[in-house]
Structure formats: C-alpha cells, structure tokens
Amino acid sequence: LLAIFPLVLALTKMDVDYSKFQNIQDMDTAYQYSMTLMESLPSSTLMISQVMVFGLFALQLIFITLRGQSLGKLITGIRVVDQNTHRLPSFLKLIG
C-alpha cells in the first residue's frame, strides 16, 4: 500500500469523473479517460510510485534469497526451511 500511496494521493486530488467508468459497454471511453488521467499526473509522482514498487520487489527478493522469509514471514516470525536438514533451501528450490 505504501508503494502506491503517492499515486493514490495524486489521483484523489484530481477532479475525476467516475461516471465515465460506470457504463461497462463503453470501455473504450473509460480507457481513453483513464489514459488522460494518467497523462495528467506529474511524472515525479509516477516515478516515485514505480521506484517504491521496484524497491519493494527487490527487498522481497533479497529477504527470500538470504533469509528464506518475505516481509510478511519476517513480521510473523515464519521461515522457509528444508524439511530434512532444517536449513535454508537453495535459491532454485525457493523459487520453484
């Protein structure tokens, strides 16, 4: 949620016409309107959100490969270990 917070905050400050999204038969209009909204967002807001999402992905990958834990597992104290050796499995076993 924190990674998309700048994007959500910027969208809430805009005057969005939600009625354009309610008619499901006219998806082309809704798509064009959403593209117009995205183009009107400041590029710095989009870049901050993208950097935060990429950073979260990289952090998750680092935690999983080094500790056998995602952020959620780290918070709850759960760790992925090999059933027989009780050690961290190899990277290929973690992603497979």
- pTM, two decimals, is 0.60
User: Is residue 44's pLDDT more than 90?
Assistant: no
Q: Give the tens place of pLDDT for each residue, 46-74.
A: 888 889 889 989 998 888 888 888 888 88
- Report the chain's mean pLDDT, rounded to a whole number: 82
pLDDT (mean) for 9-29: 77
3-state secondary structure 2-70: CCCHHHHHHHHHCCCCHHHHCCCCCHHHHHHHHHHHHHHCCHHHHHHHHHHHHHHHHHHHHHHHHHCCC
Confidence bin at 76 (pLDDT 50/70/90): very high
